């Protein structure tokens, strides 16, 4: 018997919630989930922001089952599950945008921010990925970051700045975000991340070698890429 994607998704979610409640002491870590903030280009939605003296952890979660293939620089990664292939945006690059937006909003030095990508669900990472891409052990990863960046007062200031800047968690906020995203990411002429022109390129390496995509003309300082329909 195999569990349906909905069940594994729900179970993955539950496991993460329980782990966070059990192992990240709330006195040391403030966890804000589903944070939607305004950017100069619309809105951006962040799954988890964990604020502590050890820095601000910006967590992008992916609910997926199957084998995951990707690399740090590849604009797209691939998931293979029961013979079905799915291409998706490199979540490390997505998270760079989240970090920039949060850094601007709450005036946080990017050096004190940690990007974390967490895969939930029944999946395994099949290629070499940086240590901040995890299929398990997420809480341990966070707890092992012990370099102190902030005082208690700075932590409180950052938490308040994010809370003050985040949009209320309403359905209207969510729909507005989806609408902004749709407009931005449908463009084949303008970079959805930085607004520079897009250019047609061909992937030279990785699982998508030979395939064409639209990439930002500011590459490598902006790594935005999108599919050619």
Stretch of 123-131, 135-143, 164-172, 194-202 contacting Zn ion, by CB under 5 A: 194-202
**For residues 142 and 153, what is the distance between their CA atoms, to the nearest angstrom?**
21
Residue from 65, 74, 224, 225 binding Zn ion (CB under 5 A): 224
State the minimum distance, in angstroms, from the CB of residue 27 to Zn ion: 40
Quick note: the x/- pattern for Zn ion over 148-187, rule CB under 5 A, is ----------------------------------------
CA distances from 211 to 83, 187, 189, 224 (A): 20, 19, 18, 16
The nearer residue to Zn ion, 63 or 196, going by C-beta atoms, is: 196
> What is the edge-to-edge ordering of all strands in the sheet holding 198-202?
198-202, 212-216, 225-227
Please state whether beta strands 133-134 and 113-120 pair in parallel, antiparallel, or not at all (unpaired). Answer: parallel
What is the chain's Cα-based Rg? 18
Stretch of 9-17, 55-63, 72-80, 191-199 contacting Zn ion, by CB under 5 A: 191-199
Verify binding: residue 222, Zn ion, rule CB under 5 A: yes
Count the residues of the shown chain that bind Zn ion, applying the rule CB under 5 A.
8
The nearer residue to Zn ion, 62 or 193, going by C-beta atoms, is: 193
The nearer residue to Zn ion, 112 or 196, going by C-beta atoms, is: 196
**For residues 163 and 178, what is the distance between their CA atoms, to the nearest angstrom?**
21
Please state whether beta strands 225-227 and 123-125 pair in parallel, antiparallel, or not at all (unpaired). Answer: unpaired
- Site residues, Zn ion (CB under 5 A): 191, 193-194, 196, 216, 218, 222, 224
């Amino acid at each position: 018997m195999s569990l349906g994607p909905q069940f594994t998704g729900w179970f993955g979610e539950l496991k993460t919630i329980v782990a966070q409640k059990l192992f990240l002491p709330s006195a040391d870590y403030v966890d804000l989930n589903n944070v939607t903030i305004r950017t100069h280009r619309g809105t951006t939605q962040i799954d988890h922001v964990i604020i502590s003296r050890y820095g601000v952890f910006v967590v992008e979660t992916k609910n997926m089952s199957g084998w995951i293939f990707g690399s740090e620089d590849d604009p797209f990664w691939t998931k293979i599950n029961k013979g079905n292939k799915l291409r998706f945006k490199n979540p490390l690059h997505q998270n760079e945008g989240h970090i920039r937006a949060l850094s601007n909003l709450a005036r946080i030095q990017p050096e004190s921010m940690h990007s974390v990508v967490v895969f939930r669900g029944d999946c395994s990472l099949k290629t070499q990925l940086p240590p901040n891409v995890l299929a398990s052990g997420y809480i341990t990863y966070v707890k092992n970051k012990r370099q102190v960046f902030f005082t208690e007062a700075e932590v409180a200031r950052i938490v308040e700045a994010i809370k003050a800047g985040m949009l209320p968690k309403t359905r209207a906020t969510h729909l507005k975000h989806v609408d902004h995203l749709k407009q931005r990411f449908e463009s084949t002429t303008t970079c959805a991340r930085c607004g520079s022109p897009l250019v047609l390129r061909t992937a030279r390496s990785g699982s998508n070698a030979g395939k064409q995509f639209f990439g930002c003309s500011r590459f490598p300082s902006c790594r935005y890429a999108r599919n050619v329909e």
